Amino acid sequence: MKYAHINGTIVEHAQASLHISDLGLRRGYGVFEFFRILRGIPVFLEDHLQRFENSARLLELELPYSRDTLEGFILELIRMNHLEQGGIQMLLTGGYSEDAFTPGRPNLVMAPIAVNPPPPHLYEQGGKVILHQNLRELPEAKTTDYLVAVRLARRVRAEGATEVVYHDGQWVSEGGRSSLSVIKNGVLITAREGVLPGITRKHMLQVAKPLLPIEERAIALGELFTADEVLLTGATRQVMPITQIEDKPVGSGLVGPYARALMEAFKKHLEAYLLERAAAGKTSVSKGI
């Protein structure tokens, strides 16, 4: 990764930096977005930019650039890094603060990130999740507060899991880095409130509509353990079946028929999106940036 983007300027990745007075460093005050790059195309970019704006609004941070300008920056960054496959993280911080507490003018950072997709066996056999009691602050905003998820990453790996799922003792909400859905008696259930609006989940729900009924509501902890199928969705994992929760199997312990149908439908949906973006000239190459 040769180049990053800071406050409207392309800089060498190795030299990219912010001052130590930035509130993102001092207080963890900031929001971010991450999206995949496939065939040089930023996947579901319009949705990610909308969520980025919403997250900034919830933290009362003013984005210094329009959505069109941000898209131009992103396409330029893809072109200069010759990025065909990977990801980009956008970060908006609380800015430089003299008293290390009061937000200033936000700093905008964009940087490419190497992406290692989950191994194929997780889609063929299903993955495992562990549970942890935790309620995220401002869950509707994608903030930089990933303290719990980062702290638990070692335990997730040690237990052979792919993700940690949060709950409050009564209701389950979402994964540390993913959205959660369950299928029970042929109905897909996923939370609408108190969770981050998942972009991949949004598109998964679009392809799910012709396949099965959908209920957007809170999921009880007991429902998670009695579900026929469980799914995680996210930018990197896309649609992933879960066949084990802690030491208990989900349903039969095998990847279920709805999960297989949804994975295939999402794959086709994503392919159609990439073709549409390419045809519309929404790539770094075709726009000549």
Q: Tell me the per-residue pLDDT of 163-175, one tens digit each, with 9 for 90 and over.
A: 999 999 999 999 9
Give CA torsion, residues 187, 191, 197, 203, to 10 deg. Answer: 0
The Cα–Cα gap between 230 and 259 comes to 8
Q: Tell me the per-residue pLDDT of 60-70, one tens digit each, with 9 for 90 and over.
A: 999 999 999 99
Q: Tell me the per-residue pLDDT of 138-153, one tens digit each, with 9 for 90 and over.
A: 999 999 999 999 999 9
List alpha helices for the chain, DSSP H.
23-26, 45-58, 67-80, 121-124, 147-158, 199-208, 221-226, 257-279
Tokens 């729900």 sit on residue:
205
Q: Of the residues 94, 113, 132, which one is the last residue of a structural domain? A: 113
The CATH number linked to 102 is: 3.30.470.10
Structure tokens at 9: 């300027």
Quick one: pLDDT band at residue 284, thresholds 50, 70, 90?
A: low
The Cα–Cα gap between 42 and 38 comes to 7
Based on the fold, state whether residues 106 and 127 are members of the same structural domain. no
Are 268 and 240 a contacting pair, CB within 8 Å? no
DSSP state of 106: P
Based on the fold, state whether residues 133 and 268 are members of the same structural domain. yes
Task: Indicate whether this model's pTM tops 0.75.
Answer: yes
Q: Determine the structural domain holding residue 17 and report its residue range.
A: 3-113
Quick one: pLDDT band at residue 184, thresholds 50, 70, 90?
A: very high
Q: Of the residues 113, 137, 169, which one is the last residue of a structural domain? A: 113
Q: Residue 289: its pLDDT value, please?
A: 30
Based on the fold, state whether residues 132 and 261 are members of the same structural domain. yes
Based on the fold, state whether residues 125 and 258 are members of the same structural domain. yes
The Cα–Cα gap between 231 and 165 comes to 11
Instruction: Name the pairing type of β-strands 9-12 and 3-6.
Output: antiparallel
The CATH number linked to 181 is: 3.20.10.10
Based on the fold, state whether residues 127 and 249 are members of the same structural domain. yes
Structure tokens at 18: 């912010």
Structure tokens at 155: 């335990």
Based on the fold, state whether residues 144 and 108 are members of the same structural domain. no
What average pLDDT does range 16-23 have in this prediction? Answer: 97
Percent of the chain with pLDDT over 70: 97
